[in-house]
Amino acid sequence: MSREQLTAQLRIRRSDGTDSGYFVDYNLQYTDGASVLDGLISIRDEQNASLAVRFSCLNANVCKECLMQVNGAVQYACIAKLEPGLTTLEPLPGKRVLRDLVTETVPARERLETAMDEVQP
């Protein structure tokens, strides 16, 4: 069997941001040279449109918005290569999860300033 006929299985931690979440497995055809982000976009387009992923530059490694845990290591999803077999994807550790693989990106200082603006008359 050639690598092009193999299946990539992405095990994704999904969450609405209110709990620790749960894993859902998605199978897709492995494509040589595709990135993890390509796989996520494929899942969103073809299997589950509700999957939340953040990215802007799409494989240019400029926006830094696609950071997530890939098999437990923090990586850019647009740089990490899609591999045949199982890959586990989780949101960034130590960040508040907004939904699925999307975490809070506002720096703590800005959040504090916003909160202070809201409580001050």
Catalog residues that contact ligand FES under the rule CB under 6 A.
55-58, 60-66, 76, 78
Single out the residue of 113, 79, 102 nearest to residue 21, CA to CA. Answer: 102
Min separation Cβ 16 and ligand FES, Å: 23
Min separation Cβ 102 and ligand FES, Å: 13
Joined together, the tokens standing for residue 106 give: 């506002």
CA angle 3, 6, 7 (to 5 degrees): 140
Q: Which lies closer to ligand FES via its Cβ, residue 54 or residue 99?
A: 54
Min separation Cβ 74 and ligand FES, Å: 12
Q: Which lies closer to ligand FES via its Cβ, residue 62 or residue 112?
A: 62
CB 108 within 8 A of CB 97: no
